[in-house]
């Protein structure tokens, strides 16, 4: 008896393609595909059109790497920003998160990921050369390394620090430790160690 293919081939292909995106497994890919299929056709097509427009119009800023519709993003072109400070982040949405705090008024630099030998991601795969080029122009006084507090994020910050340490600038690392409202007994050893390491006087 011939096997019955219960999932249409095109749906299976869509699920497989979505599953290839970072952060998506087969289950989440299935949910996304089925949600689109269950939506009114007009709404689903509008989402697809918007995605197409995004791919056509959005690209990295030629200066800092933030996603933008322009050649140079609004932050890089703003005269109101402190142009002597650069905050280095892994991805655009890390910069968006920092921007939402309203506590930073400098420029950004997106390296586009983090070093990961296991994934084959090397310094050549990241937007680091452009950062050094920006610093070498001579207008930068401080670089803040705001990569994520992970093993890969620490390795990336350390690599960039070694490239910058002999230049006539201040290189800072964002402090991290216990989030506000956290309970000590629920914190992992690494987080507690970093909270102690980056303690500040009161």
pLDDT at 1: 45
Collapsing DSSP states into helix, strand and coil, what is residue 172? strand
- Is 90 a domain residue? yes
Query: What is the tens place of the pLDDT at every residue in 131-144?
Result: 999 999 978 999 99
- Is 61 a domain residue? no
Radius of gyration of the chain (CA): 21
CATH number at residue 168: 3.40.1360.10
CB 115 within 8 A of CB 152: yes
Using the structure block, give the residue that is written with the tokens 């050094």: 132
CB 175: neighbour CB atoms within 10 A?
Answer: 12
Same domain as 31, residue 82: no
pLDDT at 200: 64
Same domain as 160, residue 102: yes
How far is Cα 129 from Cα 122, in angstroms, rounded to an integer?
12
Same domain as 93, residue 46: no
- Is 198 a domain residue? no
Residue-range definition of the domain harbouring residue 28: 9-51
Which of 130, 139, 116 minimizes the C-alpha distance to 22? 116
- Is 105 a domain residue? yes
- Is 44 a domain residue? yes
Structure tokens at 74: 């609004």
pLDDT at 105: 94
Overall domain count for the chain: 2
Query: What is the tens place of the pLDDT at every residue in 103-153?
Result: 899 999 999 999 998 888 999 999 999 999 999 997 899 999 999 888 899
């Amino acid at each position: 008896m011939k096997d019955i293919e219960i999932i249409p081939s095109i749906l299976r292909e869509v699920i497989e393609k979505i599953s290839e995106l970072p952060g998506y497994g087969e289950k989440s890919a299935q949910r996304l595909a089925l949600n689109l299929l269950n939506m009114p056709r007009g709404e689903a097509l509008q989402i697809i059109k918007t995605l197409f427009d995004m791919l056509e119009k959005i690209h990295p800023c030629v200066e800092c790497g933030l996603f933008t519709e322009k050649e140079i993003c609004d932050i890089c072109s703003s005269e109101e920003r402190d142009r002597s400070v650069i905050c280095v982040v892994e991805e655009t949405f890390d910069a968006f998160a920092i921007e939402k705090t309203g506590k930073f008024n400098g420029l950004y630099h997106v390296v586009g990921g983090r070093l990961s030998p296991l994934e084959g991601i090397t310094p050549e795969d990241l937007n680091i050369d452009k950062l050094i080029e920006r610093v070498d122009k001579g207008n930068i006084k401080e670089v803040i390394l705001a990569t994520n507090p992970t093993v890969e994020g620490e390795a990336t910050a350390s690599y960039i620090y070694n490239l910058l340490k002999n230049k006539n600038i201040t290189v800072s690392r964002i402090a991290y430790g216990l989030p506000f409202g956290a309970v000590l007994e629920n914190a992992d050893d690494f987080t507690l160690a970093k909270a102690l390491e980056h303690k500040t006087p009161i």
